[in-house]
Every structure is written in C-alpha cells, then in structure tokens.
Amino acid sequence: MIAYSYKAIDQEGAFTKGVVEAEDLSAAYEGLWLKGFSVLSVKKANPLFARLGKRLQARGVKRREVIELARNLSVMMRGGLPLLNSLDDIMMTAENKYLKKALGDMKAQVASGVSFSSAVEEHRDIFPDILIRLAGIGEETGTLEKSLSNAAEHLQKMEDLSQAIKRALIYPVLALVVTMGALIFWLVYVLPKIMSVIKDMGVELPFITRALLYLSELTQAYWYCLIILPPVVFLVIRLLKRKESTRYYLDALKLKLPVVKLVVYNKLLALFSEQSRILIVAGITVDRSLAIIADVIGNEVFKRAILAAKDSISFGSGISEALKEHRVFPMLVVRMVDIGETSGSLDEQFAFLSNYYIAKLDDISDKMGKLMEPLVILVVGVIFIFVILGLMLPIYELVSKFGKM
C-alpha cells in the first residue's frame, strides 16, 4: 500500500485533507470517491510524514472515547436507530477532531455500501483490533449492537487494567526520580563548596570523601550524560526487542524481578483471561482465540506458551491440559478452565479469572507504596550514610586538628 495525501470537499460541503492508503493513484481516487468526497488533489505522500501523522492521530483519540463510541452505538442501535443515523448523531456531537473525521469517513463508506467492520478497519490506527473483529462477527450473526456492547465492556476492563498498572508504578518511579534529583543537586552544587573550604584548611581527606569528590567532579564534567543516558538506554532496549531471542530474555527477566513481577505477571494473566472471555463470547473457536491472544499479549514468554497450548489443542488435547504443560499458567487458571470445559461455562470461568486478576492488580497498586517503601528507605539510607560519613570524617579530622593546637 502507498500513502497519498489529498485535499477534498466532503459530503457536508466542508474542506478536508488527510492521508489515504491505496495500491495506486487511481485506487486512491476511487476510494475517496466512494467516501463521497469531491477530490481537489491527490499526490504521493512522504512515508515518514504519513506514519507520523497516523501515529499522532492514533494518540489523539483516547481509549475512553473509543469506549464511549462503542457503547453509544450499541445503545442507539438497540433502540432501533439505523447505523447511519447513529454514526451521524455521534459524529455531530464528537469533540475530538480526529475521531470526528474518522466517523465522517466511516459514515461515507457505510452509505456507499461498505460493511461497518471494513469501515472501522480503515482506521485501525484509532480503533483496536478487538473492536474490528467483534464488529465483523456481529455483522455476520446479525447482533452488531450486542457485539459493540461486548467490545465496550472489554475495552473498559482494559482501561481499568491500564490505570491499575499506572497507579502501581507511580510511587516507585516518583521516589526514584526525586531521590536521584536530590543526589545530583547535592553532588553538583553543595558538596564542591563544602569540600573547597575543608581542603583550604589543609585537612587530609579520607577515602570516602575522596570518592564523593571524584563522583562530584565526574557529575559536573559529564552532566549531559545524565540527560542523554535515559533515552539512549530506552532506544537500545527497543532495538534489542526487535530480535525475538533477545525479546524473549527481556520478557523473561520482567517475570523474575521481585517487584516488577507482581505487576507484569498479574497484568498478563488478566489480559489473557479477559481476551479469552471476550473472544469465546463472540463465538470464536478456542484455537483461533489463542492465536489472536498470542499476537496481542505483548510478552514473548507468554506468547510461546499460548502458541504451544494452541498446537496441543489442535492435536486433540484438552484446554486445561494444554495450559497445565506451561509454568506461566498458575493452577488457579488451570482449575477454572477445567471446570469451564466440564460444565460448558468456559466464558464464565474466564470472566471470573479476569475480574480476579484485575482486582488483584488493583490491590497491588494500592499496596505498592507500602511494598516499595522499605526498599526506597534502604536505598536512600545507604546513600545518605555514605554522604554523611564523607562529610563528617574530614570535619572530625578538622576538629581534632584544632583540638591539638
């Protein structure tokens, strides 16, 4: 697909511009015509700017706005309002310009005979994959309003999960940033002034003080490295994660680090359970559901375990038996899935697991401050003991020297 930038007049008579992807120039013109646009100009877009524009557009639409859209569409259609009218009403009241533009585009496509799921898929940079899949299943089964309601419920759970993770991480990150900021300020501005006075008095500096001075001089000389280092580390990690083997070891490390494991592991189990629930409710087979979940799980260790479980199920193994073979799935998940298989209530068991792990993650986020507090106090305590010793030892030498006079 090639990116083309266009300028056109939409169905409402308003000037609009944007980027469309098509196989060639004529296909781009045809696609814009099907949307009801009067095309003024179309030209090949710079790929870099096209990707950047899509990324900005995607970030400009929040998940809560997508949830509200899916929920409102479901309510309107359940009330008997046709899809086109529902899209028009929501578009007219939308405040987000990116979402408003996407809705206008979707409305034009649906009016020209394109299916709703295909119209949504055209804007997959804004709308998540699960919404596209559920919309397609809803159209096939004639239950689009129910599928949209399920999608809204699922996305709301994912939003709650995301907020729980943010709450869990805010205290340790804030504590680390404040502590490092205070230490750098002390090394750059405070320590040199104190040490210059002590050195002028001819006091022999002990090892700890000399080490602090060396660290202070290093910080002053290479302060810019402190600014450059975080983005460089982030970039290196991103590059390493492009290789599957490296990505696997990085993801495995996340599941072993003492505090990080609490958040990451429970988040992955909650995501696995919730994705399984919504896909099974939508009528997708278990093996197909596992293939979809493996693509979105975001952890290579879990992805390999899920794909291996999918293969076992394809060869006739039970779901619980397939999951039991992999240590990443705890016995609670295996037992609940086994009960679901036996009683035919697999969606209900996954719903229980999803709620359980989201609640557990919520509890961890509330307790994270207390869990991290001893570690933060220990680190800060060690730093300040080192600093105080570095200051007090030469002062003690200075007092002793004056005492002998």
| Burial of residue 350, with CB atoms counted within 10 A of its CB: 0-12 exposed, 13-18 middle, 19 or more buried | buried
Model confidence pLDDT, tens digit, residues 91-148: 888 888 888 888 888 888 888 788 888 888 888 888 888 888 888 888 887 888 888 8
- SS3 of 7-30: the string is EEECCCCCEEEEEEEECCHHHHHH
Q: Which two tokens stand for residue 376?
A: 């933060």
Report the C-alpha gap between 267 and 248 in whole angstroms. 17
Per-residue pLDDT averaged across 359-366, rounded? 81
Instruction: Judge whether 322 and 338 are in contact, CB under 8 Å.
Output: no
Sheet containing 38-44, strands listed edge to edge, beginning at the edge strand earlier in sequence: 15-22, 2-9, 38-44
- Cα 345 to the center of its chain, rounded Å: 30
Q: How far is CA 48 from the centre of its chain?
A: 23
Q: Are 126 and 98 in contact (CB under 8 A)?
A: yes
Q: Which is it for the CA torsion 62, 66, 72, 76, positive or negative?
A: positive
Residue 177: what residue type? V
**Residue whose pair of structure tokens reads 């397939």 in the numeric block:** 322
Query: Which residue do the tokens 């994705």 mark?
Result: 275
How much is the pTM? 0.70
Residues 326-350: tens digit of each pLDDT: 989 999 999 999 999 888 888 899 9
Domain-wise residue ranges, the chain: 2-58, 62-127, 151-405
Q: List pLDDT tens digits, range 237-292.
A: 778 777 777 888 888 888 888 777 888 898 899 889 988 888 888 788 888 889 98
* Torsion angle of the four alpha carbons 356, 359, 363, 368, in this order, in degrees rounded to the nearest 10: 90
What's 189's DSSP letter? Answer: I
Q: Give exposure, 71-103, as e/b (b: 16+ Cβ within 10 Å).
A: bbbbebbeeebebeebbbebbeebeeebbbbbb
